[in-house]
Structure 1
Amino acid sequence: MKLAHLALWTQDLEAAAAFWQSYFDAQIGDRYDSRNRPGFASRFVQIPGIEARIEIMEGPWVTPHPGETSGWAHVALSVGSKIQVDAIANRFRLDGLLVSEPRRTGDGYYEAVVRSPEGTLIEIVE
């Protein structure tokens, strides 16, 4: 068994696609507009080196991210080294999207926590 993809709702599909492309060098798939569910659109995000994809989805019913609620809490991306964690954290810091400075966590990860413009938490780990 393997993880095929994760799905994230967004209020702005194209802005979300630009975010993943800009910060994670992701390839963005073609836009899909549903004929069966008016207003639903999605695109797949493929991050280099990660087999599973992220499906970003929008619809007029999507509300702003409420903060911590039940369900998935974050996505963690391994970047291979402490130096890379620090570099990525710095870029997010400059753009005002760094949530937690790089640190060694109690469970042994060296990580920084960042967020997408809509509030999705992303752990950047070595």
Structure 2
Amino acid sequence: MSVTHIALYSNDLERTRAFYMKYFNAKSNEKYVNAKGFSSYFLSFDSGARLEIMAHELLEYREPKDHVNGIHHIAFSVGSRENVITLTNQIVQDGYPLLSAPRETGDGYFESCISDPNGIRIEITE
């Protein structure tokens, strides 16, 4: 058994697609649109993981909160501490919020946390 993909709603589908393609080397399919106001892209990553980003014309934006039921973060491994630092700096320089600078965590991971265009926490790990 395996997880085939995770799906997220976005209030800016094109910006979200561009974010994951630029920083995490995602490959995208063609946009799917239906008559009910729904649209989506499937993003595929080198590891085989997939992320479906979805939008709906009736979607209401809500500020993300840290302690609620649901997805808390998505983690991407970039292979080294140097890559964590480099990618984090690039994303922050491009105007995305830094949630925590690159550091070693209490459980031994080297990571940083940034926010994607929807306010979803992204962990960048070595």
AA paired with 1:78?
A: S
Q: How does 1:30-45 map to 2 (within 5 A)?
A: 30-35=30-35, 38-45=36-43
Mark the runs of 5 or more structure 2 residues left unpaired by the alignment: none
Mark the runs of 5 or more structure 1 residues left unpaired by the alignment: none
Tell me the TM-score normalised to structure 2 length: 0.91
TM-aligned CA deviation for residue 118 of structure 1: 1.5
- Structure 1 residue 13 corresponds to structure 2 residue 13: yes
Q: CA–CA distance in 1 between the matches of 2:62 and 2:93? A: 22
CA shift in 2, pair 1:62/1:27, >3 Å = same
Runs of 4+ in 1 over 6 A off after TM superposition: none
* Aligned 8 A contact 1:65 1:118 in 2: no
Which SS does the other structure have where 1:89 is aligned?
helix
CA RMSD of aligned residues (A): 1.2
Q: Percent identity?
A: 40
Q: CA–CA distance in 2 between the matches of 1:80 and 1:21? A: 18
TM-aligned CA deviation for residue 46 of structure 1: 1.0
- Structure 1 residue 84 corresponds to structure 2 residue 83: yes
Match of 2:48 in 1: 51
Aligned length: 123
